[in-house]
Amino acid sequence: MFKGAIMLKGAITALVTPFKDGEVDEKAFADFVDWQIAAGIHGVVPCGTTGESPTLTDAEHRRVIEITVEVAAGRVPVIAGAGSNETRISIDYSRHAREAGADAALVVTPYYNKPSQEGIYQHFKAINDAVDLPIVVYNIPGRSVIDITNDTMERLAGLSHVVGCKDATGDVTRVTALMDRCGEEFMQLSGDDPTSLGHMAYGGKGTVSVGSNIAPAEYVAFHEACLSGDFVTARAWQTKLDRLHKDLFLDPSPAPTKYALSLMGRMEPDVRLPVTPCRDSTRTAVRSAMVRAGVAL
């Protein structure tokens, strides 16, 4: 039983995957992960949506997780993206994550297939039963089409290895409902930067964040204020970070985020199709958001 064996909270970065000349830039990625941890980030997620996981080859997916674990070296939790709309692949990726030394697996709701609530439950149960690794259930109906109902999440919380959820619905009122159903130890993380303040005010534990790719120290300060109940300070940080929360999505993610990181000299702005580079108007907005957030250009 892994219940209570891991604590996930605060600012957890949904890591981008840098590319150069069509390949994963392993050095830039390793340096980037180390910079995130040195800045105080509370955890990292490789191979999620922001990491362009749908465009990674199987070998690239595995290597990115291995690099993350190697660089993290136990300093922060590594929550490895292991989602697929094919249950056997999710099991395989979760097994690899465990073997690589990841602390948990982030598993998204099966997309495109449009499974029933029973199908969703059986998908996660199969992974739960096959792999000895904590599982964070990722509910993002805007991308997967299917929403995990509160009833189904309660069932999932009863599985031996399901320790929490990442909620990208933007509905902060779910926190209380799920706390009632799943208990206070069930780790509820937001997957939506713009509503993370409200999510944590309702009792959420943190955010799997896109904005923290750009400003890890600032997002850490924001989340630590929320966790301590200092919502006056948290609101001040929200004001500074609000444009970054939103403008990183003016074009399909993670193109704006990679553009911002290229301005910081962290990596090339390269993305893989079908995502395309930022428009000029987005670049202007992102630069302005970085200045507002206090990120040096």
Q: Which domain holds residue 167?
A: 10-239
Q: Which pLDDT score is estimated for 6?
A: 84
Q: Is 138 a catalytic residue?
A: yes
Is residue 296 in some structural domain? Answer: no
pTM of the model: 0.96
Is residue 29 in some structural domain? Answer: yes
Is residue 260 in some structural domain? Answer: no
φ, ψ of residue 182 to 5 degrees: the values are -105, -10
φ, ψ of residue 275 to 5 degrees: the values are -75, 140
Is residue 234 in some structural domain? Answer: yes
Which residue is it, tokens 């290229």?
262
> Cα–Cα distance between 61 and 176 in angstroms, integer?
35
Residue of 6 and 225 predicted with greater confidence:
225
Q: What is the CATH number of the domain that holds 51?
A: 3.20.20.70
Choice among 93, 138, 202, 259 that is catalytic: 138
pLDDT at 223 over 90: yes
Choice among 166, 205, 258, 259 that is catalytic: 166
pLDDT at 2 over 60: no
| 211's tokens | 């904005």
Is residue 262 in some structural domain? Answer: no
pLDDT in tens, 38-53: 999 999 999 999 999 9
**Whether 197 contacts 234, CB under 8 Å:** yes
Is residue 205 in some structural domain? Answer: yes
Position 1 confidence tier, pLDDT thresholds 50, 70, 90:
very low
Average predicted confidence (pLDDT) for the chain = 96
Q: Please report, rounded to a whole number, the percentage of residues in the chain having pLDDT higher than 90.
A: 96
Q: Please report, rounded to a whole number, the percentage of residues in the chain having pLDDT higher than 70.
A: 98
Is residue 64 in some structural domain? Answer: yes
Report the pLDDT averaged over residues 176-193.
96
Q: Is 27 a catalytic residue?
A: no
Is residue 50 in some structural domain? Answer: yes
**Total of domains in the chain:** 1
pLDDT at 297 over 70: no
